[in-house]
Structure formats: C-alpha cells, structure tokens
Chains A and B, each alone.
Chain A
Amino acid sequence: MRILTIVKQVPDSNAAVKVLSDGSGIDPAGLKLVCDPFDEFGVELAVQLREKRQDVTEIVALSVGPEKAAEALRVALAMGADSAIHISDPALDTRDELQYAFVVAEAAKKESAPFDLILCGKYNIDMDAGAVGPALAEFLGLPHVGAVTALDVAADGKRFSARRRIEGAEEVVECDLPALLTIEKGLVEPRYPSLPNLMKAKKKPMTVLSAADLPGATDGLAGVEFVSIAPPPPKPECRIIEGEPEKMARELVRLLREEAKVI
C-alpha cells in the first residue's frame, strides 16, 4: 500500500495575522508558520497504519509552496513519512484551491506507481475551504470520504470502512481502495517530532519539482484571481449592559428583540 499525505504550511493559529497596507497579502515578518494541524492528522494516520500493518510500503508527503514550505515536509518526514515531494514554483503557487488540487493531481499522476490511499486534512486553517481533497479526488477519478473520524482498513488492503462527520450525525461508510480521505480532529493525535527524528528527516529524500516538471499543471484552470486582503469588516464596539443582574437580563432580552431583532 502506497500512501500519499498532502501537507501545507500555514500561519500558526495563535499568530496575529497582519495585513500589508496595500492589501496585497499578509506580512510575513515574524509570522510563525507551521504544518497545518489537520494535515498532521493525515501524516499521523499514515504512520499509524504502517505501525499496525505489514503492507504499507511507502509514505510520501507532498506540499505545494515556496522554499520555506519544505519545513512542513520535514515535519512530516520526522513524524515518519519516507520521502517528500516539494512543488516549489511561483507559477504553481496559488490561493485557488482548485488549481492547487490540479497541481497535486498532476504530480501524483507522474509517480511511477499509483497511490492506494491519499490523506489530507479536513480543511486547511488558512483558506478554511476544504476543497482540495474532494477536487483532487475528482481529478484522479477516486472516491473520497470527507471529515473522517474513524477508519478500519480491511486485512487485504482492498477495502475500508470509515465514519465521517456530517451535521448532527456520523455516517458509517464502506468503500474500495484506492480512495482519498480528509481527516477530522479526533481520529488520531499527532506525535511530536523528536529532535533525533528531525535530524534523521534531513537525510530522507526530497524531490523538488517546478512547473517544467509538470507541463500540464498550468493548463487553463486558473479561474480565480486574488484581488486583495483586508482586516475583517470592523465590528461595532461591544455595548456593555450595566445594572443589577435582573435589570441586565431584562435589558439584554429587550435589545435582542427590539434592536438586533434576532429573537
């Protein structure tokens, strides 16, 4: 079983994100970047599958992003991936999730052997969209299961059953491999890459690809243009409601009904 895990480097969730004054992007100065926590779930799952099974032959981590994004791949390698593919080319670096998925699909198709299992996070914490997994599955003609909370791969490695989260419920599904899964929080707890493993990760193979290696990847898909970025529309200042608790309760209920009109 060959497993591909997609990882993306994103700003740390604790980091304050500063918008550049011209709206062209966010200020990279001092911004702490990490491997997306949802993607780490995918890497962890791959490594746990190998620990439990005999048939996992290779775990490949893949990322699209600038040179610095290699750090996210090093995390994946330190957690236990065997090799990494880094697609590093400004021509392929995009905020368009469909384009992003297309580039990954082109790279996956270029591999000598197909992947049996592709793992992504439920979504990435930068775009919050969750389109990469399903779009990648579509480009590769694979089924996908989104927001997986439990997984059981059959002993023969040909089928799996999974639970996935939907609004207010979980679906129990069954499907053939190859397939793509996007991972929800709670399925696995990512291990902390230890220092020795981080050192070892530096020796693991990392292939760097550019647009020239993926001739199909820039084909006419770019239907989305980035325009600008801005701080979120300002919220009006919070109105503090004064008084004794009884009065406060009455006043809040009145405001919610008469001013905000949400009740």
Chain B
Amino acid sequence: MAKDILVFIEQRERRIHPAGFQLLALAVDLAKTTDGEVVACLVGEGVGELVPQVAAHGAKSVYVADDAELRLYRAMPYAAAVAAAIDAADPKILLLPTTFMGRDLAARVAAKKKAALAIDCTEVHLDGNDLVVSKPMYAGKVSATFRLKGDRLQIAAIRSNAYSAREPQAGATAETKSVALQLSDADKRLKINEIVSTSSGVKDVTEADIVVSGGRSLKSEENFKIIYELAEVLEAAVGASRAACDAGYQPHIRQVGLTGKVVTPKLYIACGIDGAIQHLAGMRGSKVIVAINTKKDAPIFKVATYGCVADLFTLVPLLTKEFRRVKTH
C-alpha cells in the first residue's frame, strides 16, 4: 500500500518557486498520518544542484529528471517526467503548486495515471485512506469540500500561501534518484521559441508575498508612482483593478480579479479599490488585506483585515515613509 507523499518542486532557471517549500511542510505533516516518507521530484536541466534545498525542507529522497529537453517547462515532457517519477516512487499522494505550471501538470498527470484530482486546494487532510480537500468555488464566493478516493493516486494542487514553509534544516540530506526519461517525438511537438518578460524587472503579482494595488481612483498612470513607491519599500508587486487597467493607468498584466490574475499573497493592500465582486474574486484569498478608501461603506472593507477610511493620496505616501522608517531602525 502506497504511503509516501511526493512533492513536485517547481523551478524555473534553477530557482525554486517558494510554493515548493510550503508543499514540503504540508507533506511532512501528511506523511506522519500515512506513516510514509516525503519524497520530491525535480524536473529540468541541471536541477540536481537544488537537491540540498529540497532536503533541508524535509524530503528524504529526490527523484531528479535531468535532461536538456526539460530545460524549459513544456507540459508533455514534464508530465512524462512526473509520471516516470510516480512509477518509480509509487506515492500515495502527489502535491503540486497552483501555478500555471502546476495546474497544467496536475491535470495531465492525473489523466495519465487515472488519479483523483483537485486543484487550488486551500486545506487538505487525510480521512482514513481518502484525501479530503477544501477549495474555493465560484471565484471564492463559496468553499467546497471534496473527497479524493484512497483507492488510487491522489493529486492535489495547493494554493500559494495556504500553508507556510518551515525553517530549513541545515545539514539535512536526501538521496538523489535519477529518473530515466523516454520522450517520444509526440511529446516534443511543442517548441518554445522565446520567453518574453512582461514584468519589465518588476515582480509579477502572482509571485509576490505582498501586493499593493491601485484602482480607478488613482486617476492617471503618473499618479501610480505613489503605489510603486510603497511597493518598493515592501519589495511588493503592483496590481490594479480592471477599471484602472481599462483606463490605461496600468497594463492588463497587472490586473487582479476574475478576468485578471488570482493572487493569494500574505499581504494585499488595496488603495482606492471599491471591491467589486469580480475584483474580490482575485484577491479575497490573501492572508491579510488592507483597504484604503475614502468611502467607509465601500465593499472592500467587508473582506479587509484592516481598514483605513482615508484619502489614498495622503495616506499612501505616509505609509511609505513609515515603512521606510521602521525598516532602517
């Protein structure tokens, strides 16, 4: 009976996505219940060098698929690599991050392995052999619970920041096991010609621990400067409402919401954003939400942890100053 927990560690350019460490922390807990081990899977080119980082977060062995064909993420070769790792590791559960890569892969691998699948889980626990998961539905308006049957492989993609990473354990080691990969020509049909950065050096909203967002009330692209200044001291990403993007104050890649990006950072600061249901769909899963709005009955305050009924043009620069002050102390 399979009892190990396999964690897919997402990396790009040999940089591990922070969600990987959060998944390992969850896997350590799950493995206690199943009486199994935490094993991880690294896919890419030259990714063997990442094994110590993965070991430091609790993996006892790491399946490494290292191949020039795997340098850039492509769904089919990566799914083949993860499937090969599953064949070798025979895990009970596979955990992935809910990222573009994780969603894609989870679905492909689940289809290959006829597994039970759930994506964007905010809570998971074992009930006997079954994995019980909670996930938001209808853009976060409800939370649904599903039971992934224990008679087969269970695959869960976990929402970023739903679980916290642990402190790495210096000196922890893991056994490296190489995954033999056989790719067919069919697996290689897709070619990546180029990767164009759209964030122009600025962090993307989906990757940041802190997001500072502005709404239509900023009134111009220029005025967004104060949002960027606050983001800079916080090492945060900048987001925007659709109204702000449609007005041209910010590019659409920064749009947060139903038709923009869904973010779940540790801290989301909404500046002059009303809190339309479609905006909430993109950020209500954030751990802590700060709302700054002149209108005290703006719907954003219904989801906020802390609220400031204030003019953002006054308060945001003061916040930047205050954060800068405490940072240098």
- Is there a chain A Cβ closer than 8 Å to B173's Cβ? no
Total A-B contacts with CB atoms under 8 angstroms apart: 273
Contact B117 A172 (CB under 8 A): no
Contact A125 B192 (CB under 8 A): no
Contact B110 A135 (CB under 8 A): yes
Q: Known contacts A144-B75, A165-B100, A186-B252; is A128 also within 8 Å of B139 by CB?
A: yes
- Is there a chain B Cβ closer than 8 Å to A81's Cβ? no
Instruction: Among B132, B291, B315, point to the contact of A249 (Cβ < 8 A).
Output: B315
Q: How far is the CB of A168 from chain B (nearest CB, A)?
A: 3
Give chain B residues whose Cβ lies under 8 Å from the Cβ of A53: none
Give chain B residues whose Cβ lies under 8 Å from the Cβ of A168: 197-199, 203-204, 206-207
Interface magnitude class on chain B:
35 or more
Chain B CB within 10 A, most for which of A96, A144, A232: A232
Give chain B residues whose Cβ lies under 8 Å from the Cβ of A174: 190-191, 193
Q: How many residues of A contact B (CB 8 A)?
A: 84
Contact B149 A14 (CB under 8 A): no
Contact A134 B307 (CB under 8 A): no
Chain B CB within 10 A, most for which of A130, A137, A168, A253: A168
Q: How far is the CB of A152 from chain B (nearest CB, A)?
A: 12
Give chain A residues whose Cβ lies under 8 Å from the Cβ of B194: 171-172
Contact A253 B322 (CB under 8 A): yes
Q: How far is the CB of A199 from chain B (nearest CB, A)?
A: 29
A-B contacts, 13 listed (Cβ < 8 Å): A26-B138, A98-B107, A125-B281, A134-B104, A166-B73, A166-B195, A223-B114, A223-B115, A238-B291, A239-B307, A245-B310, A249-B318, A252-B319
Please name the 4 residue pairs, one residue from A and one from B, whose CB atoms are nearest each other, closest first: A223-B116, A168-B204, A138-B111, A131-B107
Footprint of A on B, CB under 8 Å?
72-73, 75-76, 79, 99-101, 103-108, 110-112, 114-120, 132, 135-149, 151-152, 154, 186, 189-199, 203-204, 206-207, 210, 234, 252-253, 258-260, 262, 266-267, 277-278, 281, 284, 287-288, 290-291, 296, 301-311, 314-315, 318-319, 321-323, 326
